[in-house]
Amino acid sequence: MGDMISELNDITREIVKLRENLENVENQIKTLQQSLVPEEPLDHIEREKIIEFTHKSIHPSIILREMKGILDKTKHYVTVYVPEITDLFGLEVYEVRSSINIKAYCFYDLVLPNHNELIEEFDCFDNITIFLYNGKDRYVVLRDGEDLLFAIKGEKELNF
If DSSP codes are grouped into helix, strand and coil, which group holds residue 137?
Answer: coil
Residue 24: give the domain boundaries.
2-39
Secondary structure class of 131 (helix, strand, coil)? strand
Considering the domain architecture, whether residues 142 and 66 belong to the same structural domain is answered as yes
- Contact call for residues 119 and 85 (beta carbons, < 8 A): yes
Q: Is residue 142 part of a domain?
A: yes
- 147: exposed, middle or buried (C-beta count within 10 Å: 0-12, 13-18, 19+)? middle
Helix (H, G, I), strand (E, B) or coil at 139: strand
Under 8 Å between Cβ of 108 and 119: yes
**Are residues 25 and 66 part of one domain?**
no
SS (H, E, C) 47-104: HHHHHHHHCCECCHHHHHHHHHHHHHCCCCEEEEEEEEHHHHHHHCHHHCCCCCEEEE
Q: What CATH code is carried by the domain that includes residue 142?
A: 3.30.870.10
Tell me how many domains the chain contains.
2
pLDDT on residue 54: 59
Please count the helices (runs of H) and the strands (runs of E) in the chain. Answer: 5, 5
Q: What's 21's DSSP letter?
A: H
Which of 36-50, 74-88, 99-113, 120-134 comes out lowest in average pLDDT?
A: 36-50
Q: How confident is the model at residue 92 (pLDDT cuts 50, 70, 90)?
A: confident
**In this structure, is residue 45 part of a structural domain?**
no
Using the predicted structure, report yes or no on whether residue 106 has a pLDDT greater than 70. Answer: yes
